[in-house]
Amino acid sequence: MVILFDQYNLPENIYEIIFSTKQQVIVAKLLIEYMKKNDREIGKTEMSMFATKLHDGELVTELDEEPYRGKKVKVSYNKRQFYDRILTPMKSMGMVNYDLYKKTYSISEKFNKNMMRIGLQWLQEIRKPPYKIE
């Protein structure tokens, strides 16, 4: 996944930096909130049930975005697209970790470490001597 952002117009919401559509932002935020309520970790079955509820349009929540603020809203999102466009990118960026042995998903801090590593790579790059250009 490629993250493109404008340093002069950085959104306050981390999800808006990472995901390209409003619907993806909402679903990713709901997933993390769901995981937070379950001690930052959920099993494979719970993840599947969450995705199925989304797919069936049975997930009811209050959103903090206009024009839905303070209203109960049914959220719907295709199950396959949830795995492909939300969960898989979150795993690959280090936001969510999957433990193969315990078969659980957990909120991870690896994303932060990776972002710091990227910043260090940039510093190393700009400090390298220039190539000979003729």
Q: What is the mean pLDDT of the chain?
A: 93
Tell me, yes or no, whether 123 lies in a domain.
yes
Tell me, yes or no, whether 7 lies in a domain.
no
Tell me, yes or no, whether 48 lies in a domain.
yes
d(CA 49, CA 31): 12
CB 55 within 8 A of CB 78: yes
d(CA 83, CA 104): 15
pTM: 0.89
Range of the domain at 117: 14-127
Task: Give the total number of structural domains in the chain.
Answer: 1
Tell me, yes or no, whether 8 lies in a domain.
no
d(CA 113, CA 96): 13
d(CA 30, CA 14): 13
- Which amino acid, residue 46? E
pLDDT for position 42: 98
Tell me, yes or no, whether 114 lies in a domain.
yes
C-alpha distances out from residue 98 to 43, 94, 120, Å: 9, 10, 26
- In this prediction, residues 82-96 reach a mean pLDDT of 96
- In this prediction, residues 26-39 reach a mean pLDDT of 96
Tell me, yes or no, whether 2 lies in a domain.
no
Tell me, yes or no, whether 1 lies in a domain.
no
> Is pLDDT of 65 > 80?
no
CB 65 within 8 A of CB 16: no
What is the pLDDT confidence band of residue 18, given thresholds at 50, 70 and 90? very high
Phi, psi of 43 (to 5 degrees): -80, 170
Tokens of 91: 């795993």
Tell me, yes or no, whether 132 lies in a domain.
no
